[in-house]
């Protein structure tokens, strides 16, 4: 019966999620591959490879094959997908022979970038590959009425990109994407700590700081956190204390460019749909939606209600899987 499985893949810059019709989300792992440079072999994929970041011998390099939501390293992405499908087969106990796959692509991606995603998925033996725009997948996963003539606004803050789209009748009416997301905020924090304290921290430490004490641009009670890094002057390990106000300052620019993208999309909205947006509001998905105060800050800035999707980290994957049922309807709208 499973000779032709149907799966949805959210191929994200930070995480790759796989959804199957029968079991829901069966895999959620970081999009990281560890390669042995001597043999060009894949040593580890996903969580195991992420654990190695910043801790490997010289010949083993952890690589993130996706950058800004699109494929930066084609061969490694194809190898990563192969390994991921092996894991999925093991987990659900059936072989993934020639599955039908729906993959999402960023709405701002070019034809070449889309083809790269299509070919990478096809190369591991998928029978059919359907591409769906990420905002539409996120909206389906967030239980929004995408195929009705009502405007649904989705703000998807991912690892590599943030996408804002107004969706009506199963298609994107207006959308903007900016290559700023969780990764850029981690970079901002790393740069800030380097400038302010002369200390170098790893990307995982920066991510932890963002998750623990990162706040959107709202007033809050200051929190602090002890962080270890390498002192750039002495070269020795050093512990410093970072406050949430400093983190706010570090990620301000990235948050503001996401806000500009929301503004631009709403300004391009047809007047007929503007009334719906005031009633329906905006739905937040993606990992960035979980930054403290994000919902409140956006609502204050755009004067419309903002709600969080039921499970922001999984919306796109759930939507990708659910869209299998309605793919023909959606593809008409996408073309």
Q: In angstroms, rounded to a whole number, what is the distance separating the alpha carbons of residues 223 and 214?
A: 9
13 is known to lie in a ligand binding site: yes
Q: Which helix (H) or strand (E) holds 82?
A: helix 74-92
105 is known to lie in a ligand binding site: no
290 is known to lie in a ligand binding site: yes
159 is known to lie in a ligand binding site: yes
The beta strand positions in 37-94, using DSSP E, are: 41-45, 60-63, 66-67, 70-71
Q: Which residue has the tokens 């725009």?
A: 133
137 is known to lie in a ligand binding site: no
Q: In angstroms, rounded to a whole number, what is the distance separating the alpha carbons of residues 95 and 249?
A: 49
288 is known to lie in a ligand binding site: yes
Measured in degrees and rounded to the nearest 5, phi and psi for residue 268 equal -90, 10
Q: In angstroms, rounded to a whole number, what is the distance separating the alpha carbons of residues 145 and 153?
A: 11
241 is known to lie in a ligand binding site: no
Q: How far is CA 68 from CA 25, 163, 188, 283, in A?
A: 23, 11, 16, 22
287 is known to lie in a ligand binding site: yes
Take residue 93 and report the two structure tokens written for it: 């106990």
28 is known to lie in a ligand binding site: no
210 is known to lie in a ligand binding site: yes
205 is known to lie in a ligand binding site: no
161 is known to lie in a ligand binding site: yes
Numbered residues of the known binding site for ATP: 13-15, 159-161, 207-210, 287-290
Numbered residues of the known binding site: 13-15, 159-161, 207-210, 287-290
């Amino acid at each position: 019966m499973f000779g032709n499985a149907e799966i949805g893949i959210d191929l994200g810059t930070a995480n790759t999620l796989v959804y199957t019709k029968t079991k829901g989300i069966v895999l959620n792992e970081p999009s990281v591959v560890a390669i042995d440079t001597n043999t060009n072999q894949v040593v580890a994929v996903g969580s195991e490879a992420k654990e190695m970041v910043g801790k490997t011998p010289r010949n083993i390099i952890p690589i993130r094959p996706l950058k800004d939501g699109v494929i930066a390293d084609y061969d490694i992405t194809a190898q990563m997908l192969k390994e991921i499908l092996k894991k999925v087969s093991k987990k659900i106990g059936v072989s993934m022979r020639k599955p039908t796959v729906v993959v999402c692509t960023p709405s701002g991606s070019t034809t070449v970038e889309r083809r790269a995603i299509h070919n990478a998925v096809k190369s591991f033996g998928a029978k059919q590959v359907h591409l769906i725009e990420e905002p539409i997948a996120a909206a389906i996963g967030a239980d929004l009425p995408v195929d009705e003539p009502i405007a649904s606004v989705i703000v998807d803050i991912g690892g590599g990109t943030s996408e804002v789209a107004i969706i009506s009748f199963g298609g994107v009416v207006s959308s903007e994407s900016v290559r700023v997301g969780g990764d850029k905020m981690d970079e901002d924090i790393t740069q800030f700590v380097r400038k302010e304290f002369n200390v170098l921290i790893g990307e995982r430490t920066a991510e932890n700081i963002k998750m623990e004490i990162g706040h959107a641009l709202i007033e809050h009670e200051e929190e602090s956190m002890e962080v270890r890094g390498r002192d750039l002057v002495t070269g020795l390990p050093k512990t410093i204390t970072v406050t949430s106000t400093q983190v706010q300052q570090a990620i301000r620019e990235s948050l503001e460019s996401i806000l500009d993208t929301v503004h631009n999309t709403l300004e391009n909205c047809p007047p007929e749909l503007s009334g719906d947006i005031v009633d329906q509001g905006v739905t937040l998905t993606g990992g960035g939606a979980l930054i403290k105060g994000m919902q409140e800050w956006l609502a204050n800035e755009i004067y419309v209600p903002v709600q969080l999707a039921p499970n922001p980290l999984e919306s796109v994957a759930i939507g990708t899987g659910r869209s299998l049922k309605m793919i023909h309807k959606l593809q008409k709208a996408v073309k």
